């Protein structure tokens, strides 16, 4: 579904993404992890077609991302950015409805999709709220619901959980997981490695613009590698209920 072939992105002589290659099939949730400035958001920008690769190509579906028409591309991939602009008083519902823009109008189906997106992000009670009065988390949930309403086979999420409270974080990732299980290729930039471990099928770890590890969470998220990439020692513990591995930062 998504294929990056030796992709680099160079600005002012500095490679923000350096010769990265991977292939992500539909039906998987992939987490992009790595320290600040590792190139995760730039990578997402390249996948979404916002940025043009300096070298190599990104394929989306059957052709390079640059060859898609803007409107066709919007039926192919939805994107949630970190920052949401809201200067005008559209309602939450109107904002989510904008996700239907790339599709041919079908009032009944559009209504159904928007309703389900609102419910899925726990926004039913906020539907009439002015988006300029929302908190950061409420704004992020609205943006996510808009991406859901866009109903695309590729979903790109840039730190979607950053502004969310604990419960909303879990709800959003469960929803993203469900989209992957329905066949979508979901790519999520995450800082919380435990979230990556629990929800992702695959983890791509970036450092200094390079892809330094690629594989299932238990193989990638090992304490020695994390210490090497992040410069932070961690312990691997056991979840008290499930026995699943949990990463905890070491003291000092």
Q: How far is CA 37 from CA 7, 64, 135, 234, in A?
A: 17, 26, 26, 21
Yes or no: say if 3 and 58 are a contact pair by the CB < 8 Å rule. Answer: yes
Beta strand 2-11 pairing with 202-207: unpaired
Residue number with CB closer to other proteins (68 or 230):
68
Phi and psi dihedrals of 125, rounded to 5? Answer: -75, -20
> Is 73 among the residues that bind other proteins (CB under 8 A)?
yes
Q: For helices 107-120 and 136-149, what crossing angle results, to 10°?
A: 140
Q: Which of 174, 200, 197 is nearest to 187 (CA)?
A: 200
Residues 6+ apart with CB under 8 A from 87: 132
> Is 99 among the residues that bind other proteins (CB under 8 A)?
yes
- Can you tell me the distance from the alpha carbon of 147 to that of 59, in angstroms, rounded to the nearest whole number? 20
Residue number with CB closer to other proteins (22 or 90):
90
Please identify which residue in 20, 24, 29, 74 interacts with other proteins, judged by CB under 8 A.
74
Please identify which residue in 12, 14, 62, 85 interacts with other proteins, judged by CB under 8 A.
85
Shortest distance in whole angstroms from residue 100 CB to other proteins: 9
Residue number with CB closer to other proteins (8 or 91):
91
> Is 167 among the residues that bind other proteins (CB under 8 A)?
no
> Is 59 among the residues that bind other proteins (CB under 8 A)?
no
Please identify which residue in 34, 61, 78, 217 interacts with other proteins, judged by CB under 8 A.
78
- Can you tell me the distance from the alpha carbon of 47 to that of 75, in angstroms, rounded to the nearest whole number? 14
Residue number with CB closer to other proteins (188 or 213):
188
Please identify which residue in 130, 182, 219, 227 interacts with other proteins, judged by CB under 8 A.
130
> Is 21 among the residues that bind other proteins (CB under 8 A)?
no
> Tokens at residue 145, please?
């619901």
> Is 54 among the residues that bind other proteins (CB under 8 A)?
no
User: Which residues form the interface with other proteins (CB under 8 A)?
Assistant: 48, 50, 70-75, 77-79, 81, 83-85, 87-91, 94-95, 98-99, 101-102, 125-126, 128-130, 133, 135-136, 150
């Amino acid at each position: 579904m998504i294929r990056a072939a030796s992709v680099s992105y160079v600005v002012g002589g500095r490679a923000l993404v350096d010769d990265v290659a991977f292939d992500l099939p539909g039906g998987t949730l992939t987490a992009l992890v790595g320290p600040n400035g590792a190139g995760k958001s730039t990578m997402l920008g390249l996948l979404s077609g916002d940025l043009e690769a300096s070298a190599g190509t990104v394929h989306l579906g059957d052709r390079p991302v640059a060859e898609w028409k803007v409107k066709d591309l919007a039926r192919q991939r939805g994107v949630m950015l970190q920052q949401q602009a809201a200067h005008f008083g559209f309602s939450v519902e109107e904002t989510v409805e904008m996700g239907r823009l790339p599709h041919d109008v079908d009032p009944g189906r559009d209504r159904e999709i928007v309703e389900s997106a609102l419910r899925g992000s726990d926004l039913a009670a906020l539907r009439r709220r002015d988006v300029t009065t929302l908190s950061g988390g409420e704004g992020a949930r609205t943006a996510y619901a808009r991406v859901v309403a866009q109903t695309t086979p590729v979903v790109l999420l840039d730190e979607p959980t950053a502004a969310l409270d604990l419960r909303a974080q879990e709800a959003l990732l469960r929803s993203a997981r469900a989209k992957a299980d329905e066949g979508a290729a979901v790519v999520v930039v995450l800082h919380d490695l435990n979230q990556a471990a629990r929800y992702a099928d695959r983890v791509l770890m970036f450092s200094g613009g390079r892809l330094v590890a690629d594989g299932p969470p238990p193989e990638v998220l090992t304490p020695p590698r994390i210490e090497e990439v992040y410069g932070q020692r961690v312990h691997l513990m056991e979840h008290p209920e499930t026995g699943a591995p949990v990463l905890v930062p070491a003291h000092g």
